[in-house]
Chain A
C-alpha cells in the first residue's frame, strides 16, 4: 500500500497553499508511520463515511451508495478545513474514489493531530452500478473463509461473474463510454484480484500459523542418539605426547613386547646378576625370552638396523611383576625416546632442551622443570626429571611430599656400552635417551591417583573422556 501514500496524488489534485507544510509533515518519519497505520486501518474496513462534527473535527460515518445510478459519473469529494482548503473536485472516475476519500480523511486526521482545526464537508454525488459491484464485492470480502473467498471470486470474476457480464454488455454502451467503462472494469478486476490474492495469502498464512502451534514439541526431550565412541584416555594421552615429539622431528617406531635378555638388559648395560636388574622385576617366558620391562629395547632394535642421525620415539606396552594396585600394574605403557648423532652434535644440553620443551608443551608453559642426577644402567650421566607439582605449583603439599616437585621421567646420555652393543663407536657417536610412563603421566595430568582406573574399563570413568579434553 506504499504506493497509495497520497502526497503525489494530492499534489496532482488541486491542493492549495499548504502543500509544503504537508510535505514537511509527511517527511517526518514518525508522522509518516502514523499516517501509514491510519491508511491501513482505513483500507481494512473501508466502509466509512467521513463527516465533521460541529466543533470542526472529522468523524466517520457509513457511506451510502445511491442505487440505480449507472454509468460513469464524475464525483467530487470535498473536505473543508479551517484555514486550509483541500479540494478534490471532480476527481475523474479513473481515480479510485475511495482512495481519494481516504487521503482526504487522513490528511484531515493528521491536521487534527497537529492541533489544527479542521472543518468542512465531504459529499458523494453519484455512484454507478460498476461502483456498486465493487462496493458489494468489497463488502463480501470482509473476513471471508477460504470457501467464501472462492465464492466471491466465482461470483464477480468467474466465467459468468458479474464483472464478466458487464464486459459482455460493453458493446451495448455508447461509443464514448466504452473505453471509460472498460478501463474501470479492468481496474475493479485488478482491485478485486489483488484483494482476493492478499486475503488468500493472509488466510494461508493464518492457517500455517495455526499449524505451527499444533506442531509444537517439547524442546527439552533428548535428541536422537547418533553413535560415536571415543578413545581410551591413555591412548589420548599417548597420542598427544607423540604429537609433541613428532612436531619436534621425532619419528615414531613401535617394537616388540616379547624380547630376549640381550635387547631388554644385556645391550642396555645391565650385566648379569647386577642389582640394577632388580629395579625391574621381570616376567619370563620359555625359550630364554621375557616380556620387556621397558620400551628401552626400542633403542637397541632401532640402532641395530639403522645409522645416525636418529630421532626416534618408541611407544609400547611394558610388563613388570607387580600386582595390579593403586600405583602399579603388571602391564603398562611407556614412551622411549632417543636422539643420536655424531659426537658433540647431541649433548646433555640438548636433552635438557628437548625435555623442557616437551614438558612445557604437555603441562603448560608455566611448568617448572628440574633435572637431578640419578642412575640408569643405560645412561651416563643419568637424570631424573621432575616437574613442579601440578597441585601446589611448587609450594609443597601432601601429593609431592612437601617437596614441590613430582618425578615425571628418566633420562640421560646414552651409555657408551649401549652404543658399543649396537656396533656404534662411542668416540664417533653420542646421543641422549629418555623414557616415561604414559599412565603415570596421565594420572598426574588428570589428578587421579588410582592406576587401576585405566585397566578396569569402567564406562562411568571412561565416559568422562568423550571430548578428549580431559586427558589432553
Chain B
C-alpha cells in the first residue's frame, strides 16, 4: 500500500528519521518495500487570485489577467488558458521560476534542466509571470487549462507548501492478516505503537445513529433490510442531497493519486479518500435510482447476471451477496457497484453505503469473477468490525466541507448480528513459553494497549485482553505473543540452541540408497541433471514410462506444452540433450533422479525413477586415439557397475522387450532389466526414427529404472566375505558354434550349470561371426576356471574334467565344438 508521509503526519507526529521509521516498520512486519522522495517539481510558484480578466488587445485567444499574490505582490500576466476567470485561485510562476514541466509542457520532467521563466512581451503586452497548468508544474499530464486551486489556498503562499511538497510516499507490503493496516489510520496506529506516540483520530461529530430511517425531504425514509446477516452483520447508510458532481479539489485528487488511485469525481473521490484513510470501503448510490430508497442486502438467488459499473455483464452465483432495492440488483456487495445506480454528472442525491461484509463471501465472489477492487481487497482481509458509522460520518463531513452536499438525515446503522467482544485469557507464563523470554507485565500491558486492546488484570500473571474490533487476527495467546514480540522487533528474544535429550537419528535407508546410487552414477562419469516435471502430452505418449499408467493432467496448466506431469524422466533428459547440442556440446552423459507421475487405479500417484541419457563419446581416447562411443553396451556397463556396487545376491537378467513396448527404442537394441525376475526398467538405444526427430547424428543410449525396486534390490543381503583361495586356478578355454540368435550369456550359464565339481567359474570372452563359420552361426568362446579347494590340481585331472564338460556342454546346447 502506498502512503504519503504528509497524510500519516495528520494522524501521528513523526519525529524520527525516515530510515529509522522504515526499519522499525519493516522489522515489525510492515515491510517498507520502497520510499519515494517527492521533490518539488517547480520553484517560485505562488498561490494567487485572479482579480480581473480582460481580452488581450492584440490576440483573440489570449487574456490579460490581473493577479493578486497577496504578500508576494500583484502582477499582470498574459494567459491563453480557456478556463481562466475572475475570482479563481490559480498557481502563479513568477519571473525566474523554474518548472519541471517547462513553459509549454515541453519539459523533461526534471527541475534541474528547467530554464528560469523570462520576462516576455507577448503580442506587444508585457507578461509579469505565468499562470500554470498541472502539466507545467509537473504534477500530472493535464494541460487542458490552468490549475484551479480551492478556496482554502491563501494567495501569497508558496504552492509547494500548499501541496505539501516535498513529501515521501511509503510503499508498504501488507501481509494478508493485517487488513487493518490497509489505511492511513492503521499504519499511523502502528507507528504510534512502535514509537510510543499519541494517535490523533479525525474529529467526527458524535451522532447517535438510529437503525430506522426518518422521513426525509425526499418523502420516503431510507430503509436497510438485511436478509443475509451472516454475510452482512452491519450496514450503515447516509442519505445526502444537494450534491453537485464535479472534479475534486487538487489536494484531494493529489492524495488519491499518490496512493495509486484515479480521481473520478468529488463523491466517488471522497468514498475512496475515506477508504484510504480509515480502511472502510464506501459506496455511493444515486438515490434517485434506488426504488423506494430501500437498501436490501441479500444473496443473488435467482438473479443470474448483473452489469457492473465498468459495463461488463457478470454472471452470478446464487450465493453471491448483492445490494438491491425493491426491484433490482444495485451492486455486487463489496466488489463493485452497478451501472444502474452509478453516480453520474446529473446526480443530486446519494445514499452512502458503509458496511461490514463477511471476508470469505467477498473473497469467493471476487475470485470467481476475477474482479479485484480496492474494496474487495479490504473486505477479504477483514475490515474494522465497528468502523462503519464513523466512516460514513467522515465521508459525509468531507462532502459537506467541500460544500457540495449535505446529509438529509442521521446515518442509519443496522446491525442484525452484533459482534460480541473477543476476550482472550492471557497467561504470561504461556506467552513466555512461546517466546522463550519473559516480558514484564507492565510492558505487555503497554504494548497491547498501544495496538488498541483493552486489558483487565485477572490474577497474578494473568489478564483478560479484549481484542480491538479492527484486529480479527487476534484470537489466542500465540497471537498476543506475536504482537508483544513484534513491537520490540523480536529483538528481546535471545538466540539459544535447543537442549534436547540425546535422540539417535537413524538415517533413512532409502535416502542412503539414493545417495549411494547417485554416487555410483557420478563415478561412472555421468552428470546430474534437473528437469521440470511438466511435459507436453505428446511426450507422455511417446515415453510412456515403466508402468504405462495414465498420465496425470494438470487442471490449470501454464500452457498446453506443460499440461501433464511426466511419466518418464527420458523426455526431459532428451530435451536437455537437444538444448546442449544446440549450444556447442558434442557429448552428453547425464542422469536424473526424480519423480514421475501416473494415475493408477484412478488415483494420481508418484514414483521415484533414475534415468540416464548418453550420447557421443563416452570414454574419450587420448589425443589422436579413438574414443568409445555411447551405446547399449556402455550403459549396460554402467548398470552392471550399479548392481555390482550394490553387491546384492539377487539375480539380474537383461531380456528382449516384447513387441509394442518402449517403441521409442531401437527394437534390436533394447532390453528389459529384471532383478530377481521383476521388471525394474529398460535399457536401449533410441529408435532411429526418434533420433531423426531429435536430429541426432550418432546413437543415443538410455536407461530408466524404478528407484524403489532398485533400493529393494540393494537392501538384499550383501554377498558373504570369503578368504582368497589358497590354491591356483587352471584355465581351459572352450569355443562352441551355435545359432546366431542364441543368447551368448546363456552359453556360459548352461556350462556353469553343468556342475563339474572342480569348475569354479565360466566367463564369456569372445563372440565371433565370420566367413570361417557357416551362415547363421556364431562362435562363443568361454574361459572355464578349475580350482581345487584343498589341493593344487594336476594337469591330468583338469583335462579329464574339462573334456567331460566340453562333451556335455556341446550336447546340452546342440553346439559344434569350434576347431
Contact = CB atoms under 8 A, between A and B. Distances in A.
Interface of A: 221-225, 227-232, 234-235, 246, 249-254, 256-258, 271-276, 278-279, 283-287, 289, 291, 309, 311, 317, 319, 321, 323-324, 329-331, 339, 341, 343-350, 352-354, 356-357, 369-375, 377, 380-384, 403, 413, 415-416, 427, 430, 454-460, 462-463
Contacts of B500: 249, 309, 311, 341
B552 A285 contact: yes
Interface in B21-66: 26-29, 31
B359 to A, nearest CB: 8
A86 B359 CA distance: 126
A309 B619 contact: no
Contact of A371 (B476, B490, B619): B490
Most buried by A among B505, B521, B603: B505
B28 A373 contact: yes
Given A374-B29, A455-B530, A284 B554 contact: yes
B486 A381 contact: yes
Contact of B556 (A283, A345, A356, A383): A283
B532 A324 contact: yes
B529 A416 contact: no
- Chain A contact residues: helix, strand, loop or mixed: mixed
Interface residues of B, number: 95
20 contacts: A221-B622, A225-B619, A227-B525, A229-B589, A246-B505, A249-B503, A249-B505, A251-B506, A258-B605, A273-B359, A273-B364, A275-B176, A275-B363, A331-B532, A349-B436, A353-B497, A375-B177, A380-B481, A383-B490, A462-B527
Contact of A331 (B28, B534, B583): B534
A330 B498 contact: no
Contacts of A344: 433
B406 interface: no
Nearest to B590: A457
Given A274-B176, A373-B486, A232 B529 contact: yes
A225 B620 contact: yes
A453 to B, nearest CB: 11
Contacts of B606: 256-258
A231 B476 contact: no
Nearest to A228: B525
Given A229-B524, A285-B555, A413-B478, A272 B360 contact: yes
A226 B554 CA distance: 43
Given A249-B503, A272-B360, A289 B532 contact: no
A381 B562 CA distance: 38
B424 interface: no
B623 interface: yes
A349 B363 contact: no
Interface in B488-507: 489-490, 493-498, 500-501, 503, 505-507
A232 B436 contact: no
B533 A273 contact: no
B750 to A, nearest CB: 34
B419 interface: no
A242 to B, nearest CB: 9
Contacts of A331: 532-534
B579 A457 contact: yes
A458 B490 CA distance: 43
B511 A254 contact: yes
Nearest to B361: A273
Contacts of A415: 478
Interface in B602-632: 602-606, 618-623, 627
A257 B595 contact: yes
Contacts of A229: 521-528, 589-591
A222 B620 CA distance: 11
Given A258-B605, A374-B29, A380-B479, 5 more contacts: A225-B622, A254-B508, A254-B511, A283-B554, A353-B496
B482 A232 contact: no
Which of B364, B433, B476 lies at the interface centre, i.e. has the most chain A CB atoms within 10 A of its CB? B433
A250 B508 CA distance: 12
B558 interface: yes
B367 interface: yes
B490 A258 contact: no
B220 interface: no
B528 A372 contact: no
A286 to B, nearest CB: 6
A60 B604 CA distance: 106
A287 B605 CA distance: 11
Contacts of A235: 518, 528, 530
Contacts of A309: 500-501, 503
A413 B486 CA distance: 13
Interface string B334-368: 00000000000000000000000001100110010
Contact of B490 (A232, A372, A380): A372
B436 A348 contact: yes
B533 to A, nearest CB: 5
A291 B529 CA distance: 21
Contacts of B555: 283-286
Contacts of A227: 524-525, 589, 618-619
Q: In the A-B complex, list the 7 residue pairs whose CB atoms are closest, starting with the nearest.
A: A227-B525, A349-B436, A347-B436, A373-B29, A381-B482, A375-B175, A352-B495
A352 B436 CA distance: 10
Contact of A285 (B31, B493, B604): B604
Interface string B530-573: 11111000000000000000001111111000100100000000
A274 B472 CA distance: 13
A348 B437 CA distance: 9
A373 B553 contact: no
B381 A275 contact: yes
B580 A459 contact: yes
A458 B618 CA distance: 18
A225 B531 CA distance: 27
A382 B485 CA distance: 10
Most buried by B among A283, A339, A463: A283
A304 B627 CA distance: 55
Given A274-B363, A309-B501, A232 B530 contact: yes
A219 B190 CA distance: 72
B261 to A, nearest CB: 20
Nearest to A272: B360
Contacts of B495: 349, 352-353, 356, 369
A349 B493 contact: yes
Nearest to A414: B478
Given A230-B527, A275-B176, A381 B433 contact: no
Given A273-B363, A279-B176, A380-B478, A350 B524 contact: no
A231 B518 contact: yes
B235 interface: no
B532 A258 contact: no
A274 B518 CA distance: 42
Contacts of A369: 495
B180 interface: no
A330 B505 contact: no
Contacts of A383: 490
Contact of A413 (B434, B530, B605, B619): B434
Contacts of A276: 176-177
Given A230-B522, A430-B434, A455-B532, A352 B556 contact: no
